[in-house]
Amino acid sequence: MKKKIIIGSVVILGTACLSFTPPADRFFEMAKNLEIFSALFKEVNALYVDDTNPNRMVRNGIDAMLNSLDPYTNYIPEDEVEDYRTLNTGQYGGIGASTINLGNRIVVNMIFENYPAYKNGLKIGDEIIKINDLELAKLTVEESNRLMKGQVGTVVKISVKRFNHDHLIDLEFKREKIKINIVPYYGMITGTDVGFIQLTEFTNECSRELKKGIQSLKDQGAKKLILDLRGNPGGHLNEAIDICNFFIAKNKLVVTTKGKSEERNYETQNNPLDETLPLIVLINRGSASASEIVAGTLQDYDRAVIMGERSYGKGLVQMGKPFIYNSYIKITTAKYYTPSGRCIQVLDYSHRRADGSVASVPDSIKRKFKTLRGRAVYDGGGIDPDIIYDKAASSEYVAALVRQGYLFDYATQYAASHPAIASPRNFSLMPADYQAFMNWVSNKKVIYQTKVENDLKELEEMASREQYLPVIREELAEIHKKLADTHKENLTTYKDLIQAALEQEIVSRYYFEKGATEFVISHDGEVAKAVSVLTNSALYKKILGEP
């Protein structure tokens, strides 16, 4: 007891001494709030009227705390660490198939070639009913996904419902080490000396895979290159640096990171793969983080033409580390700056509005920087492309056909009655094929609402509140009738969009991921635009400010 009193006195005295300095005040506030949280947690669990789930309560508290900082500072509990590693390494133990949810069905939407699912008879379109005799209808999506994955060498049994089969089909697979293909496609653009290569994520060693693809294209005669980073959410910083090094010289600054206690410059370490190869980098709103480092660095050095949409605008760097009880944490530790000195972070999480929302950096305070040849670039809003390419108009009806699985299911039926189709670049549906689809889907209930209809509904509610509805009721009814009439023509109005999406689904049944990507690229207007710029040397040089 005497020993405890002495130790307690020392702690109290030490705390009192430290309290005269700002760090001590901070430590005291941390200790006080932890004690408040612990005491409140105990009281709620003891007294709350209904049973509580302590794990869920603490997790919600942790998530809320970290979300108040930014979306990228995360706590990953032990049971989610394996999924996190999969995202970072692109590897996991499984059978080589991916699934999607269509209503209350879990169906196989992709088979990866030369893995167990491919070799042992699983097909795209199969609905998974049981995994290891457990019915998926009784499990959550997360539980189902975990059952598919597992230790390499272990066996998993799957029961599927297949189109045109009356009974369940039982299949058995031995799990293998699955490597996600982060370079799903590379190839030559037909009739040109332009190579095309796609990178979907910046996983560990992705630069090695990308380098192999680029070298293969050069061996096939590529004199120009399109690098597709559209929809690439980023990943490892060092991989982005290595990829920049493919195209710019050794000892060149790629990115600077500035954190609370450290500023660090990252430079290229090797001789380039090709310092003069004409290059276009495709980006869109889904291109983030490491994608923006590559695009921004190559833009700052006037090394590549950037084409597409303004990128996402994530200029923050995270550090990941193992944490207690086999968990993992990811913490934002710095902002990054491209060689010209700009930070492209679009949202300022350190200054939130009163309601907790985050504002974008206004255009009025964005600063101008200059590329190597003096072209103007700006901070605070992602990477602005040198050539803006507006996406084709979309349709909520087409999105509903995709979302509700009608295109997916029809592609499955089509593949069941057609043993083979033309190559991805040459495949197209005949008019009779599209008419057959129209006849089939016309009997389905496609649930959707256009933006015009949403706006009209808001107008009606406002008119009702302000007592104008009786005055405009007839006009509104007439508009509703006209909109309903246009819905009947959707399959004709949006024929090109629907047919292209359906053809892509059908191609995937025969040629899998690579074939589906090849089909999309061969019909991609943005890729065609990039080719036209690359093959116009004068225009390409003018965009980059070359004399």
Look up tokens 């975990």; give the residue: 146
Bridge partners of 256, per DSSP, are: 265, 337
Q: Is 528 helix (H, G, I), strand (E, B) or coil?
A: helix
pLDDT at 21 over 80: no
Rounded distance between C-alpha atoms, residue 533 and residue 529, angstroms: 6
Q: Calculate mean pLDDT across residues 231-235.
A: 95
Close Cβ partners of 199 (under 8 Å, ≥ 6 residues apart): 182, 183, 206, 210, 227, 228, 229, 232, 243
CB atoms within 10 A of CB 236: 19
User: H/E element holding 414?
Assistant: helix 406-417
| Catalytic position from the list 144, 287, 289, 311 | 289
Q: CA 365, 367, 370 angle in degrees (round to 5)?
A: 165
Helices (H), 223-266: 237-245
Going by C-alpha positions, the residue among 304, 237, 312 that lies closest to residue 275 is: 304
DSSP string, 254-267: EEEEEESS-EEEEE
Q: Is 197 helix (H, G, I), strand (E, B) or coil?
A: strand
Q: Which of 235-249, 416-430, 472-486 has the lowest mean pLDDT?
A: 472-486
pLDDT at 18 over 60: no
| Catalytic position from the list 123, 224, 314, 330 | 314
How high is the pLDDT of residue 145?
A: 78
Q: In this prediction, what percent of the chain has a pLDDT beyond 70?
A: 96
What does the pLDDT look like over 455-490, one tens digit per residue?
888 888 898 898 888 888 888 888 888 888 787 899
Burial of 13 (0-12, 13-18, 19+ CB in 10 A): exposed
pLDDT at 17 over 70: no
How high is the pLDDT of residue 22?
A: 63
**Which two tokens mark 68?**
């108040």
- The overall average pLDDT reported for the chain is 91
Rounded distance between C-alpha atoms, residue 162 and residue 129, angstroms: 10
Asked if 122 contacts 107 with a C-beta cutoff of 8 angstroms, the reply is no
Rounded distance between C-alpha atoms, residue 156 and residue 175, angstroms: 7
Domain ranges of the chain: 24-68, 91-179, 186-391, 392-547
Q: At what angle do helices 406-417 and 495-522 cross, to 10 degrees?
A: 70
Q: How far is CA 210 from CA 80, 216, 244, in A?
A: 29, 10, 11
Going by C-alpha positions, the residue among 371, 311, 322 that lies closest to residue 342 is: 371
CB atoms within 10 A of CB 234: 21
Q: Is 523 helix (H, G, I), strand (E, B) or coil?
A: coil
Close Cβ partners of 230 (under 8 Å, ≥ 6 residues apart): 282, 283, 284, 286, 287, 308
Answer yes or no: pTM beyond 0.85: yes
CB atoms within 10 A of CB 50: 4
Burial of 178 (0-12, 13-18, 19+ CB in 10 A): buried
**Backbone dihedral region of 119: left (phi > 0), alpha (psi from -120 to 50 degrees) or beta?**
alpha
Q: How far is CA 108 from CA 104, 135, 182, in A?
A: 13, 16, 20
Asked if 207 contacts 236 with a C-beta cutoff of 8 angstroms, the reply is no
Q: Calculate mean pLDDT across residues 299-318.
A: 96
How high is the pLDDT of residue 547?
A: 85
Q: How far is CA 113 from CA 118, 178, 214, 326, in A?
A: 6, 11, 22, 33
Please report, as a single letter, which amino acid is at residue 99.
T
The reply to whether 340 belongs to the active site is no
Asked if 283 contacts 230 with a C-beta cutoff of 8 angstroms, the reply is yes
pLDDT at 142 over 80: no
Return the CATH superfamily for domain 91-179. PDZ domain (2.30.42.10)
| Percent composition of the chain: helix, strand, coil (DSSP 3-state, to 5) | 45, 20, 35
The reply to whether 300 belongs to the active site is yes
pLDDT at 144 over 90: no
DSSP string, 443-469: TS------HHHHHHHHHHHHHHHTT-H
| Catalytic position from the list 228, 300, 302, 384 | 300
pLDDT at 127 over 50: yes
The CATH number of 186-391 is 3.90.226.10
How high is the pLDDT of residue 13?
A: 36
The reply to whether 314 belongs to the active site is yes
Rounded distance between C-alpha atoms, residue 82 and residue 496, angstroms: 41
DSSP string, 97-158: EEEEEETTEEEEEEE-TTSHHHHTT--TTPEEEEETTEEGGGS-HHHHHHHH---TT-EEEE
How high is the pLDDT of residue 4?
A: 39
Asked if 527 contacts 521 with a C-beta cutoff of 8 angstroms, the reply is yes
Asked if 75 contacts 81 with a C-beta cutoff of 8 angstroms, the reply is no
What does the pLDDT look like over 319-345, one tens digit per residue?
999 999 899 999 999 999 999 999 999
**Which two tokens mark 196?**
């095309």
Asked if 111 contacts 128 with a C-beta cutoff of 8 angstroms, the reply is no
Asked if 103 contacts 347 with a C-beta cutoff of 8 angstroms, the reply is no
Q: CA 406, 178, 142 angle in degrees (round to 5)?
A: 55
